[in-house]
């Protein structure tokens, strides 16, 4: 099988540059320390792969477009999963990311339609932009302590995602991070978060309960199209002495006493307001 594999030595590391076969099952030989960028890209026959414990890095787009890849075990020792490493692996059902990984790259598991569960270990500090976007079968995810940033679009359109635990320590939730997660019903955002990006929960059609810490800059675009937003009474929607949104059609609006802030986009689209 190694006849179908091309290797290189780079700074004393044995890198698997390219697999050119069409086997359903591939065993990468011991001693390989890195799976190079695009090494298995487009290997549509590949169902499963065994990665040896010597591997430390899975390169960018390493398994991108392996549509029939169902099973992969990422061994302890891997510290980096590169950008788009498993993008478009539409049959991949589950993945366990080992302790030691500190970075999940941009679009690392994007469009893995069959991915139902993922375990993110302690040690990961950032979940990259688009990392799990459009994983439409993903039902739950536990984000470990130590993660400080959830990237933009990280879980975009994970339409089966029902629950997410965001740990203390996260300081930023990126733009559209959970947008279009239509099964998500509740979310608790911990103390310490200082920034929630634009439209972070936009289009979460079943999101009814949201807990947001004091001091976070909140605007209604974050929650557009959610029951949570619509259950706030009145044309002038107010939370904690802050005007979140005006949804009336009057030409004149009187802001009541006691308000201490007008949220971003609060009067967006009010074409009748004079």
Mean pLDDT per 10-residue run, the chain (274 residues)? 81 88 93 95 94 95 96 90 96 89 93 91 92 94 89 97 88 95 92 90 94 81 90 88 90 92 89 92
Range of the domain at 262: 235-274
Query: Could you give the CA distance from residue 178 to residue 189 in angstroms, rounded to a whole number?
Result: 12
Give the model's pLDDT for residue 64.
97
CB 200 within 8 A of CB 175: yes
Strands 5-10 and 25-27, sheet pairing: unpaired
Indicate the number of domains in the chain: 1
Query: Could you give the CA distance from residue 19 to residue 33 in angstroms, rounded to a whole number?
Result: 15
Within-domain flag for 260: yes
Q: In what order do the strands lie in the sheet with 48-50?
A: 25-27, 48-50, 71-73
Query: Could you give the CA distance from residue 130 to residue 178 in angstroms, rounded to a whole number?
Result: 10
Give the model's pLDDT for residue 263.
86
Within-domain flag for 265: yes
Within-domain flag for 156: no
Query: Could you give the CA distance from residue 30 to residue 52 in angstroms, rounded to a whole number?
Result: 5
Within-domain flag for 252: yes
Within-domain flag for 225: no
Within-domain flag for 254: yes
End-to-end CA distance of the chain: 74
Within-domain flag for 196: no
Query: In terms of pTM, does the model score above 0.75?
Result: yes
Within-domain flag for 239: yes
């Amino acid at each position: 099988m190694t006849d179908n594999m091309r290797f290189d030595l780079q700074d004393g590391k044995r890198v698997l540059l390219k697999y050119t076969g069409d086997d359903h099952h591939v065993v990468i030989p011991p001693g390989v320390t890195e799976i190079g960028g695009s090494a298995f890209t487009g290997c549509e026959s590949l169902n499963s792969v065994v990665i040896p414990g010597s591997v430390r890095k899975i390169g960018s787009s390493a398994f991108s477009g392996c549509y029939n890849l169902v099973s992969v075990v990422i061994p302890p020792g891997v510290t980096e999963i590169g950008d788009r490493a498993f993008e478009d692996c539409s049959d991949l059902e589950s993945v366990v990311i080992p302790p030691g990984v500190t970075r999940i790259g941009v679009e690392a598991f994007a469009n893995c339609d069959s991915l139902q569960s993922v375990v993110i270990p302690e040690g990961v500090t950032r979940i990259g932009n688009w990392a799990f976007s459009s994983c439409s079968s993903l039902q739950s995810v536990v984000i470990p302590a130590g993660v400080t940033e959830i990237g933009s679009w990280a879980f975009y359109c994970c339409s089966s995602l029902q629950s997410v635990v965001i740990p203390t320590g996260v300081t930023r939730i990126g733009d559209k991070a959970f947008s279009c997660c239509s099964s998500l019903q509740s979310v608790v955002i911990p103390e310490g978060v200082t920034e929630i990006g634009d439209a972070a929960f936009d289009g979460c059609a079943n999101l009814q309960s949201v807990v947001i810490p004091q001091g976070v800059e909140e605007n209604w675009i974050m929650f557009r199209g959610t029951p949570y937003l619509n259950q706030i009474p009145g044309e002038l929607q107010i939370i904690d002495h802050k005007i979140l949104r005006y949804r009336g059609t009057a030409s004149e609006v009187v802001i009541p006493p006691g308000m201490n802030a007008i949220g971003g986009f609060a009067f967006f689209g009010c074409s009748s307001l004079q």
